[in-house]
Structure 1
């Protein structure tokens, strides 16, 4: 599998992106199911403190410092995440 930096970023749907931004504002705990670089599913729980763009991709950061590229996100609070 290519390193994440070498893989083309695929934007997520605008509706989920908006929900991520709302979660930042609400400061509510979230549940995120994401695909790791090795291809395994991982569940992460925590508060999202930022959603931002960097070098042609979008990311979120949790209050514990965990960073996740948005196209690795598969579910957000139980809702499936699809490409835009």
Structure 2
């Protein structure tokens, strides 16, 4: 189960590039992520912006939700697990 106090695990730079490109296109996509209780959530939404604060990167969805990048499962069919963890 994810813990909002757990250390942030950086995501692969290539996956980050996918997120940036998706946000720039401003089209609605399916976003899957784990919420604070570890429950899979699914939204069809636009990615508004990517940001970093206190060493944690987040994406803002057009619903107003902010999701830690290390909680993302997939965006527009591209899975975080398709990319190797950064070293």
Query: Above 0.5 in TM-score?
Result: yes
TM-score range, shorter chain: 0.7 to 0.9
Structure 1: give runs of 5+ residues left out of the alignment.
Answer: none
- Runs of 4 or more, structure 1, over 3 Å off, are none
Give unmatched runs, 5+ long, in structure 2. none
Distance 2:33 2:69 in 1: 9
CA distance in 1, matches of 2:44, 2:7: 26
User: What is the TM-score with the length of structure 2 in the denominator?
Assistant: 0.85
> Aligned pair in 2 of structure 1 residues 76, 2: CA closer, same or farther (>3 Å)?
closer
CA RMSD, Structure 1 to Structure 2 (Å): 1.5
Aligned length: 83
8 Å CA contact 2:2–2:38 kept in 1: the answer is: no
Alignment of 1:1-84 (within 5 A): 3-4=3-4, 6-82=5-81, 83-84=85-86
